[in-house]
Amino acid sequence: MLKTPLKTLLDILINHFTKERLETLILKHDEKLLTFMLEHENANDYKNAFFKIIANTLVFDEKALLECLEIKELEKSFTRFKNKIGLYSQGCPIKSSELVVLNFPFKDNVLLGNAKDNNTKSNELFYHEILHKNEIDTLLSPKALCRFEMHG
């Protein structure tokens, strides 16, 4: 159990290092940061919050500290999620990953739409790229316009 709230522990770190520098120091497992945390008057609280004991060895948990910094930015929101909207996979935005493909059915088809009237039910057709190659070529080929009037 922590005697000092996490917010206070983070404020102490931010006041000593600045927020931007603190993030860099966390990612580098900087000796100055770790020494500060382990020799501070609240060292036991820092150990309980941001360190793990593995095989009788104290191991720094950078993920926990970075997550607390993110939460501190969202102080009044009561959420553990990042302040960024988007699609995420395993805590990282999928736009930063090249392993994501947007898949949808019929992406190898061309839709022949019918936009005559919104009230009538239209008979929309899907033309497959291989099976209906001639129809697709006809649809996508340049056209000449007859009796064209521009309004507006």
pLDDT tens string 97-122? 777 666 666 666 777 776 666 677 76
Gyration radius of the chain over CA positions: 29
Do 71 and 127 have their domain in common?
no
Give the separation between CA 112 and CA 123, rounded to whole angstroms: 9
Among 80, 95, 129, where does a domain finish? 80
Do 54 and 120 have their domain in common?
no
Rounded alpha-carbon distances, angstroms, from residue 74 to 77, 78, 91:
5, 8, 17
Per-residue pLDDT of 66-104, as tens digits, reads 888 877 655 555 455 556 777 777 777 777 777 766 666
Give the separation between CA 12 and CA 122, rounded to whole angstroms: 66
The SS3 of residue 13 is helix
Q: Which residues contact 72 (CB under 8 A, 6 or more apart)?
A: 7, 10
Which residues constitute the domain of residue 131? Answer: 109-140
How many domains are contained in the chain?
2
Among 29, 64, 80, where does a domain finish? 80
Residue 88 lies in a domain: no
Residue appearing with tokens 């839709």: 111
Do 70 and 125 have their domain in common?
no
Do 76 and 113 have their domain in common?
no
pTM over 0.75: no
